[in-house]
Structure 1
């Protein structure tokens, strides 16, 4: 981790710890309410993100300390003045810690409410975000915390941090002999390491290695449930899931351990329905089924002490509080209540002790804490221009379009809006076909396309959003007329789930939110790939195919924030087009208004990315031939450049160390 640390004091930074422009006009409470509804911040923001009186995004990393907040737009500008490059990740470790406290508090309330005698703690699955800064921020929160690994490399990372936490380590995923041996070494070192049996082939290796190392293994079993959630990750659960033992295999495992004299080693029951469970009913159903496994295992003489319900605790990316794939219809309290009640009820009914409850809630802990901030580098607008009539002898489709245009202005009849739009679309279609056959020239095609855009502008102004009959036309025109905004980032590197699984992330400007959202936009990245576009956006009315934007100057556009990217995105990001990691900073906000910013990742440069694909930037040369000299081609030319890089007839043009975005 870098030692680069900067601090902004209250006296030099204004009310929220950063410089503010005194010329900006404070927004009214009515305007603030409108913007909150437009972007659904009140729901997905979870009190961490808000719009302040200047129309800027503000961040409150700990809602229990509301005076500790920072103006994100001004913070980014201050960092840019100090040399910060965009795009960059702005990470708030205090949000991580608050999320952990909030989940723990919800389970504490549930246990007290239902008289549940067992303990609870959260085990953080580091695959969600393996960065050291994330793991250590959680460990240093002062809250009980365990760690989960799903591979050998992750287990090594977990063991490296195990000395900082006296909780448990849970080992999931595919386990070969080396993985199992490493876990048993961790147990021998004094850590409480649970090896979760997910394939029958694992148990023989575990028993062999345990005997060889002279250590008593601590085991868990993952039950494959019939219950299955819905959504993008539903294949994680159910009878066809990749991991877990069927009922017959669970019985076989018990008998193998009994015969080996290791039945007491089986102490943990685990199941996993999937990530981002949207419907609380699916969670409750899965817990009730798994509780029956707990009861039946006790009847077989297995003293299960820990009940690991796995992941699934979702977050509301949309702010709709629905069963949509990117939302949830429950909160932390309801989630905790359903789990504690279902397990406790099964225990009371069968006279069994209350086990320690474990959840592996990685997404719910990390998602909110990171914002990707980037700048707009280009805007393409469909502008309205003065319309002129076609030539008197123009072909019929051109004359028809002009007649529709005149009728729109002469009658002003709203009932004809849809008809005007359809007529102009049919005429434009005929003109496009005629252009392909040579009937229309380029000037005529351009005239028709511009007139159609003018018609769309006119129709759009007369539509009423409150009229349900107008909504389909409004949506169609918003897509057609939306600004194309080119943003300095790679979707594949910074938000791979938006591309890979249509994950929705809240996106909005960091400033200018004291203006009405009059414009619509679609966001495009700077990769050479048509998939590098965001297709869905949070909107006050639900999910839209265009993003609401306040009026802005295309020559001086606002910065954009891509929120809730703290889970999975950093580690899943790929290097398509050789765009590398962005810079990342940790931001700490204090009640006195001061802000500390620490550079945690310098990001990749062009040179770094070239080296990754075995190209040394220090030896990359562009030969500049002398007058009359011909280029040599193919393999011979490449060999010649490589072996004679110092030839006098070549000029070395080096690849300088610049940002990769």
Structure 2
């Protein structure tokens, strides 16, 4: 009878997988990382970032677009942009920028990061800086300074009717701009049209009224963003088709328009059963853009993509120890972890986001169905089947045999949404954070980026010290 946890995984999924395997001691390895060794050396709870995965995903995307463009004889360039809002950490930007990429910003302080990277030489005036978001005084002022100081490839993406006037008041030269399309949201959304950008039907009139005769701006780019990301469904392809109609209408009256910026991003792996054909999606996007342009007899655009979660999400992980099991009734067993989901994985309780959950050890033990609880006194601090796609099964709890858990592909948004380094719910501390890289010989190197928060850290913020 197959009652061991490893049997359950082998029966349910195709395992081992590219990034997950089990060693001879039945402990989990994530890429080249012995996760149990990591937990034993640095303790738990623990956050980690595996930097090589960032470069791997960037290079994969660049290769896929290169192949698709070559296949379809798509005579334009491809530019990979990283959305800094996914993770602003310097170690993330440093790793991403090794791969000849560009940057998308969303707020004023992003520009300070850009200036810092320029001073270090990580980016140059040739690096595209696409400035998205709703812009007001501070953000606009910093964009103006960036452009006035010679950053010719800074392209503000116009979000509303006032921004052109605000941007051009303080610039000394003609600037390139983009316009963001306010796409229609999926039918299940509570509203019909995105609050960001300008509506499909209004863009051409807006161009004629505000841009065409304006000697201070040059329309360079159309920005197409779908909130739910790039998915193979009727909704996405319909929105892309509508976007291309707008692009073609603008291109016919605006020769300077030569770029299409595709936002929304690829999904990342959220379970061992994840199935997404990246190669097909890239090929189909390029094919549909090419066909639309050929039918309309206009030049195909340069393609920009904005990938945030896809860039950094699969590089992150969180490790916990099961402290205790509470049996609240005949059916529910609560495994209590030594941290809080609200503190460390806020998307899991805020939007029921799924992450890959696997035990680090005891894969040869029998399994049981459980719920996971965090340390706060908040009833929402849990992780259950709603987030996990199916019921949660883990090696059976044994007080004398500690169980360690890993949540994987958590590298996007969790630190910034959780208020990294600041106050945490019920004052449950932010865990230690370790950066994992490879040296020139391909060996793993570990560096503690941040120690676990202390009581003193909290008391200073709260005004007690």
TM-score (norm 2): 0.90
Residue of structure 2 aligned with 1:184, choices 132, 139, 144: 144
Residue of structure 2 aligned with 1:131, choices 89, 99, 102: 89
Cα distance in 2, alignment partners of residues 492 and 308 from structure 1: 34
Shift in Å at residue 554 of structure 1? 2.1
Cα distance in 2, alignment partners of residues 592 and 53 from structure 1: 25
Equivalent residue runs for 1:354-373 within 5 Å? 354-373=300-319
Cα distance in 2, alignment partners of residues 41 and 167 from structure 1: 41
Residue of structure 2 aligned with 1:268, choices 216, 221, 231: 221
2:103 matches 1:150: no
The corresponding residue for 2:398 is 553
The corresponding residue for 1:203 is 164
Cα distance in 1, alignment partners of residues 441 and 33 from structure 2: 11
Equivalent residue runs for 1:164-243 within 5 Å? 164-165=122-123, 166-191=126-151, 192-210=153-171, 214-226=172-184, 228-229=185-186, 239-243=192-196
Residue of structure 2 aligned with 1:76, choices 39, 58, 67: 39
Cα distance in 2, alignment partners of residues 116 and 49 from structure 1: 36
CA change 1:552–1:99 in 2 (3 A) is: same
* Bigger share in strand: 2
> What do the CA deviations read for 1:546-591 (whole angstroms, capped 9, x no partner)?
4211234223321110111111111101511122422111113579
Equivalent residue runs for 1:458-473 within 5 Å? none
Q: Is the 8 A contact 1:129 1:366 kept in 2?
A: yes
The corresponding residue for 1:311 is 264
Equivalent residue runs for 1:566-581 within 5 Å? 566-574=411-419, 575-581=424-430
Instruction: Specify the SS of the correspondent of 2:457.
Output: helix
Q: Structure 1: where are the runs of 5+ without partners?
A: 1-27, 61-68, 322-328, 383-448, 454-479, 617-661
> What do the CA deviations read for 1:218-264 (whole angstroms, capped 9, x no partner)?
200011234x3467xx57xx85211111222541233222232246x
CA change 1:33–1:289 in 2 (3 A) is: farther
CA change 1:591–1:35 in 2 (3 A) is: farther
The corresponding residue for 1:298 is 251
* Bigger share in helix: 1
Cα distance in 1, alignment partners of residues 67 and 8 from structure 2: 35
The corresponding residue for 1:251 is 205
Cα distance in 1, alignment partners of residues 338 and 133 from structure 2: 37
Residue of structure 2 aligned with 1:48, choices 12, 19, 30: 19
Shift in Å at residue 370 of structure 1? 0.8
Cα distance in 2, alignment partners of residues 36 and 50 from structure 1: 11
Cα distance in 2, alignment partners of residues 593 and 513 from structure 1: 28
> What do the CA deviations read for 1:375-422 (whole angstroms, capped 9, x no partner)?
12212247xxxxxxxxxxxxxxxxxxxxxxxxxxxxxxxxxxxxxxxx
Instruction: Specify the SS of the correspondent of 2:401.
Output: coil
CA change 1:216–1:593 in 2 (3 A) is: closer
Instruction: Specify the SS of the correspondent of 2:371.
Output: strand
Q: Is the 8 A contact 2:212 2:254 kept in 1?
A: no
Q: Is the 8 A contact 1:148 1:158 kept in 2?
A: no
Residue of structure 2 aligned with 1:606, choices 446, 455, 458: 455
Cα distance in 2, alignment partners of residues 196 and 266 from structure 1: 10
TM-score (norm 1): 0.64
2:29 matches 1:58: yes
Larger Rg: 1
**Range 102-111 or range 282-291, more displaced:** 282-291
2:346 matches 1:496: yes
CA change 1:591–1:136 in 2 (3 A) is: closer
Cα distance in 2, alignment partners of residues 254 and 125 from structure 1: 30
The corresponding residue for 1:597 is 446
Shift in Å at residue 320 of structure 1? 4.0
CA change 1:303–1:33 in 2 (3 A) is: farther
Shift in Å at residue 85 of structure 1? 3.9
Cα distance in 2, alignment partners of residues 537 and 257 from structure 1: 48
Aligned length: 453
The corresponding residue for 2:372 is 523
CA change 1:376–1:230 in 2 (3 A) is: farther
